[in-house]
Amino acid sequence: MFEENLKALGLATEEIDIYLTALEEGSVTILQVARMTKIPRTTVYLYVDSLIEKSLLKCTAVGKKKLYIPASPKELVKLAEEQKKKLVATVLSLEENLPQLQAVYDISHIKPKIIYYEGVSEAKKIYEDSLNSDKILVHCMSQQAIPMMEGYIEKYMVRLIRRMIYTQELVSDSAQDKTYQKEFSTSRNQIICVPSEFATNVDYLIYADKVAFLTYRDAKPVGMVISDPEIAHFERIRFQMIWERFLANSQL
């Protein structure tokens, strides 16, 4: 319990060992401390200096030998009182500046956060992040995504299904995407084919409070993830409107 109190005062484990050793011996040399605590001598010097700064050790010379004498345990109480005063002053200062700090916090958290990704390995991070959500809405009309992602998309879908993540996905009505639909479409992972005339080189995913856009126009994918609950909510509504339209058409 006593050692826990010393830790609460901000003393490192090594400082506690050194102080208690000095307290038991009455006075010690650096060599004695190193031998008794098993702390390397070079490290002992550092912690001894720290204890001297905290007024818990005092250095005295006997001939050519330096001895380190422990301060009275009463100094521990003084140290605790000093820390208490500093803590009280810190609390008061924080309370005074709380309105300003809160305003900065509110502004920074209202702004949508945008992160950019470039390259296959970076684009994979977006897909990996989406696997942490319960539901993903996907608009994947690009014909370049699957080949450009080097077989990753198929493996991603297998993992997604295994994790029981609910999905709604819009793909083109190309032969490739129709095969993809037959292979992966289930009651939990619904896939609708949309006429290829609506195909683009930009896909997007909506999950959690994020909207991720990925373009496969150039030689490597480039992605952008917007984190904002309002934007994500808006995109969900827009996606659902498109989904309902093409769902009705597919049932005719």
Does residue 85 form part of some domain?
no
CA distance 127 to 238: 21
> What burial class does residue 77 get, using C-beta atoms within 10 Å of its C-beta: 0-12 exposed, 13-18 middle, 19+ buried?
exposed
Which of 43, 71, 99 is a domain's end point? 71
Asked if residue 161 and residue 244 are part of one domain, the reply reads yes
One-letter identity of residue 252: L
Q: Tell me, what's the pLDDT at 114?
A: 92
Q: Tell me, what's the pLDDT at 250?
A: 67
Does residue 58 form part of some domain?
yes
Asked if residue 138 and residue 238 are part of one domain, the reply reads yes
- Reduce the DSSP state of residue 215 to 3 states and report it: strand
Q: Would you list the DSSP string of 94-117?
A: HHHHHHHHHHHHHHHHHSPEEEEE
pLDDT digits (tens, 9 = 90+) for 137-164: 999 888 888 888 888 988 998 899 899 9
Q: Could you give the dihedral angle defined by the CA atoms of residues 56, 60, 62 and 68, in that order, rounded to the nearest 10 degrees?
A: 20
Asked if residue 184 and residue 132 are part of one domain, the reply reads yes
Does residue 240 form part of some domain?
yes
Q: How many domains does the chain have?
A: 2
Does residue 80 form part of some domain?
no
Asked if residue 117 and residue 57 are part of one domain, the reply reads no
Structural domain containing residue 56: 2-71
Chain-centroid distance of CA 181 in Å reads 35
Scanning the structure block, which residue is given the tokens 């997007």? 204
Does residue 179 form part of some domain?
yes
Asked if residue 219 and residue 139 are part of one domain, the reply reads yes
Q: Tell me, what's the pLDDT at 108?
A: 61
- Reduce the DSSP state of residue 164 to 3 states and report it: coil
- The radius of gyration of the chain's CA atoms, rounded to the nearest angstrom, is 32
Asked if residue 152 and residue 220 are part of one domain, the reply reads yes
* pLDDT < 50 stretches in the chain: none
Does residue 78 form part of some domain?
no
Which of 37, 54, 71 is a domain's end point? 71
Does residue 93 form part of some domain?
no
Give the chain's count of helices (H) and strands (E).
10, 9
111-124 burial: b if 16+ Cβ within 10 Å, else e = eeeeeebeeeeebb
- Provide the CATH number for the domain around residue 223: 3.30.870.10
Does residue 79 form part of some domain?
no
Which of 71, 104, 130 is a domain's end point? 71
Asked if residue 152 and residue 30 are part of one domain, the reply reads no
Q: Tell me, what's the pLDDT at 107?
A: 64
- Provide the CATH number for the domain around residue 41: 1.10.10.10
Asked if residue 244 and residue 139 are part of one domain, the reply reads yes
Asked if residue 246 and residue 149 are part of one domain, the reply reads yes
Q: Tell me, what's the pLDDT at 216?
A: 86
Asked if residue 218 and residue 138 are part of one domain, the reply reads yes
